[in-house]
Chain A
């Protein structure tokens, strides 16, 4: 197809053609970035947790008033929970992934270091690693004799100050503290206490991602036993198909043991994850809506302008038909015209997409737009353009040659 005549026609409709190009460029740029944002959100929503998510149930309770025999009561609670058919493991955890509630501390590599190296979260609870289903990749689990009561430690820090307690950390934290090394056997310090790494788990996500996704897996686990005075989240490991039954039974058991207790939440870890990322899910839906709306409006604009051009050029089309152009020629003329406009729009749109990405990077901690996203916008625009122009182009191709012979 010769594009010469198309270009010379477009030159006579400069402003309209330009508007169409600008519209397509904007759409292309926004669609590229929106698709990129969606992929970022999806990636965030599927961040690995390192725990056996489909097998975990959390029951959060609250006691009324302070209880003098919290330790014994907690033991009774756990015994009763473990007796529920289907429960494989149960513990009282200081914190649970995807709950946004966490305890964090600054870590130093030497006791006198001025600026802390990193901020990491602290998990505690008896047999927490196995209950969570975190995967130990180096070193060992805690020995039974290493466990201390959290309450006793808080009241008397000497319990941990005089001997170096064990800690199990994530691979990500080990890599951050000692790049290239396993971290096993190393020491670090926080709040003036030195601890030694005895084990490394593959991954264990922090309960809150407020420090950014890069810090998501900077977690430590301490050999501490919690009691109802200082923790309120029971974690149960069970078969995925037993979760609902176990959850209901656990709530009932805990209420039976202490009728004055309030069950604040009963959730599977899958539900906790879904709740945790609900804003990201909503944003993904919004972005999808924006993409659909943009492409629709652009398509309507193309239809409107193409229809106008077809009507305006009826006579020219008639003349061309009378001089021997086939219907296919006319059809292809309008399709090629749209393809040309879309291509210019897309080229501009790519530059604009880059610019928008730079703006977003400044304000929203986004990475660079990978170039692989640019063809998505291009493809969408070419497709929408061809679909939108098809109707008016077909109408044009049906203009009879006899139009040429009419004077008006």
Chain B
């Protein structure tokens, strides 16, 4: 029966080429626009580390002085050196890492390449294991190297390609920030999206090119990237004692029970600091996992949301348009439908036939929409924003395109099909 309906649909669509064309065009435009923005939303609001992110938590403490206290205030978005080091050394989580963004000048061994600045991450060793960073060559530095000012560096694949032509560079020396560093590892392509572990350096920033031990970089006074929030007379020169928050601290807690215990530990830590007179405020802690942290920071740009709503509005207009055109088309065929009814076709089969026709329009419109959304995503990639390069259609969005196109046209076809089925056969036959 379906094949017969499809055949009828094709005949009818071919008969009214302009009307069919208008319907397909409207669907294609609506689907194209909405799938473009939906894909961008999908990419930008995705899970940076699927399967892992639920066990990664971002502790926040409130070490600020008693000025500017407001009830229900959020603790600072980062931690101070002192708190970060205390939590790191306490080692209460399964894994933990303290880090900040930075920028270092690199003087390539090959003199034909000009010195350049590269975004760096100053971090402690468990960063790599905790965030599932894949190693191409070598490995992370050792636990001891975190605390002995070791001059070691891990390179990204991009930098290794640039400086060493992609060869295994572990063991070689690299002049970084005017000092010699030994390369211990090269990581493979790795770009978590969003750049969840440090939103201060850009929510969709590319991952860094070089990784240095945090203590080494801090002792060498390498410049940091990101934001630094100070209180009191905090803008002190020594980063280690400054009354400023400027580091990100991440912990891995494999079970919810451990997470609850860790939160309690943060509260106890805050109380202890207050009893020592270091903290002036009541304990004020947060412990969010990756997705909660991204959500809390509204990491998806509001322009992207706005574009999504615009596209949805546009899709609705396109669908209303299609309903109108389809209604016109179906009612125009009242005569033909009357004949089929008179020859014994039930309303139900007429209804099915018309819905198949609507679905066929949706399928063709969906194809057009797919092409348009590929074009739309290409336009998005031309945009200057740092997430632009990420806008690609994946398989799930491809399938969603067709599901949306066909589903939407079927819904749009319901009313016209129902109206057309109500045609009394006798009246139609008589007027012929």
Chain A residues engaging chain B, CB cutoff 8 angstroms: 15-16, 19-20, 22-23, 26-27, 30, 34, 37, 62, 64-66, 106, 114-116, 154-155, 157, 191-192, 260, 262, 264, 275, 278-279, 282-283, 286-287, 290, 293-294, 296-298, 300-301, 303-305, 307-309, 311-312, 356, 360, 363-364, 408
Contacts and interface: CB of A to CB of B under 8 A. Distances in A.
A154 B117 CA distance: 27
B105 A298 contact: no
30 contacts: A16-B324, A19-B323, A23-B320, A26-B316, A30-B313, A64-B177, A65-B177, A114-B68, A114-B69, A115-B68, A191-B234, A191-B235, A192-B233, A264-B117, A278-B384, A279-B301, A279-B303, A279-B384, A282-B384, A283-B307, A286-B307, A290-B33, A290-B311, A294-B314, A294-B317, A297-B25, A297-B321, A301-B22, A308-B19, A308-B329
Interface string B55-91: 0000000000001111000000000000000000000
A155 B314 contact: no
Given A279-B303, A301-B26, A23 B233 contact: no
B261 interface: no
Nearest to B116: A262
Contact of A312 (B19, B302, B332): B332
B25 A300 contact: yes
A71 to B, nearest CB: 16
Interface centre among A65, A286, A307, A312 (most CB of B within 10 A): A286
Interface in B322-379: 323-325, 327-329, 332
B324 A305 contact: yes
Given A15-B327, A30-B313, A106 B320 contact: no
B317 A30 contact: yes
B303 A283 contact: yes
A26 B320 contact: yes
B147 interface: no
A22 B321 CA distance: 9
Given A66-B221, A304-B22, A308-B328, A298 B317 contact: yes
Which 6 pairs show the lowest CB-CB distances between chains A and B?
Answer: A65-B178, A308-B328, A301-B321, A19-B324, A64-B105, A23-B320
B325 A301 contact: yes
A64 B107 contact: yes
Given A15-B419, A264-B117, A279-B303, A293 B321 contact: no
Contacts, number: 140
Contacts of A287: 310
B426 to A, nearest CB: 18
A154 B384 contact: no
B385 A290 contact: no
B325 A304 contact: yes
B30 to A, nearest CB: 8
- Interface footprint category on B: 35 or more
A23 B332 contact: no
B317 A23 contact: yes
Contact of B26 (A19, A300, A309): A300
Contacts of A308: 19, 325, 328-329, 332
A271 to B, nearest CB: 13
A153 to B, nearest CB: 10
B325 A364 contact: no
B292 interface: no
B129 interface: no
Contacts of B70: 115
Interface in B233-247: 233-235, 237
A88 to B, nearest CB: 30
Contacts of B260: none
B115 A64 contact: yes
A297 B26 contact: yes
Interface in B201-235: 221, 232-235
Given A64-B107, A279-B385, A283-B303, A298 B314 contact: no
Interface in B297-312: 301-303, 305-307, 310-311
Contacts of A286: 307, 310
Contacts of A278: 384-385
B67 A114 contact: yes
B29 interface: yes
A338 B419 CA distance: 23
A300 B302 contact: no
B142 interface: no
A360 B302 CA distance: 11
Contact of A262 (B23, B33, B117, B232): B117
Contact of A304 (B69, B306, B324): B324
A293 B33 contact: yes
Contacts of B419: 15
A192 B230 CA distance: 13
B415 A304 contact: no
A157 B233 CA distance: 9
Contacts of A303: 22
A169 B31 CA distance: 52
Contact of A34 (B26, B232, B310, B318): B310
B268 interface: no
A305 B105 contact: no
A299 B332 CA distance: 21
B255 interface: no
Contacts of B67: 114, 116
Contact of B178 (A26, A64, A364): A64
Given A62-B105, A282-B385, A22 B303 contact: no
B233 A283 contact: no
B156 to A, nearest CB: 19
A82 B414 CA distance: 75
A290 B117 CA distance: 40
B307 A26 contact: no
Contact of B306 (A27, A264, A283, A294): A283
Contacts of B303: 279, 283
B264 interface: no
Contacts of A23: 317, 320-321, 324
A344 B235 CA distance: 63
B106 to A, nearest CB: 9
A11 to B, nearest CB: 16
